[in-house]
Amino acid sequence: YELTQPPSVSVSPGQTARITCSAHVLAQQYAYWYRQMPGQAPVLVIYQDRERPSGVPERFSGASSGTTVTLTISGVRAEDEAVYYCQSVDSTGTSVVFGGGTHLTVL
Amino acid sequence: EVQLVQSGAELKKPGESLKIYCKGSGYSFSNYWLGWVRQRPGKGLEWMGIVHPGDSDVIYSPSFRGQVTIAADTSLNTAYLQWTTVRASDSAMYFCVRRGDGYRLDVWGQGTLITVSS
């Protein structure tokens, strides 16, 4: 995968989860984040690094710094347990690229 | 409501041909790029390619170029993903997805499960 994510992150309920995504291309291109629950299609939760689609709770936020973007989930709940994928565009600007996914475990 | 509805699960034998489809509704189908994503069991998301229904322009991911055909029919508001011959390694869930502003993938189909087994 062209975008590098940690395979797993674990947090206790009510705490803050931070999931990172790194790649050189992220210094020039926006990042997008998706949540995928078991057996379901992914859902967009953050676009253009830090924007939240309507209907996504304010607990979800995004940030960008150089070649790393971060998805932050504040006040984590049991239902936030899922796999989170970052996405951007390749260096040619023509093809979508995904990170390998991060499994968020709520302890 | 904007939605993408995909065709049902398929069970195929190696060497058979296959076409799956994705029907859009609730928006101007011709004006939005529509992509395909592969997800093998227990694995991550892989970008396959994208079609612009309005002019039939297709951009394939290098990994999938020559392996599949992507097309769209605006008269039916439907996009297609096609294989000439399937292999066991093609067994996976396939999602269609609308590309919104920028490169956000804002609407996803429910997925089509393909199983290739002799």
Give the per-residue pLDDT at A51.
Answer: 97
pLDDT band at A93 (very low <50, low <70, confident <90, very high): confident
Contact status of B27 with chain A (Cβ, < 8 Å): no
**A2-27 pLDDT per residue, tens:** 899 999 999 999 999 999 999 999 99
In order of A40, A58, B34, the CA distances from A75 in angstroms are 23, 10, 35
Does residue A1 carry a pLDDT above 80? no
Q: Which residues in chain A have their CB less than 8 angstroms from residue B44's CB?
A: 1, 85, 98-101
CA distance B24 to B5: 7
The helix (H) or strand (E) run that includes residue B1 is none
Mean pLDDT of chain B: 97
**A36-61 pLDDT per residue, tens:** 999 999 999 999 999 999 999 999 99
Give the per-residue pLDDT at B76.
Answer: 97
Does residue B19 carry a pLDDT above 90? yes
- B44 to chain A, minimum CA–CA distance in Å? 6
CA distance A50 to A31: 8
Select the residue of B44, B62, B100 nearest A98 (Cβ to Cβ). B44
Question: Span A58-76, mean pLDDT?
Answer: 97
- Go through B56-82 and write b for each residue having 16 or more CB atoms within 10 A of its CB, e for each that does not: eeebbbeebeebbbbebebeebbbbbe
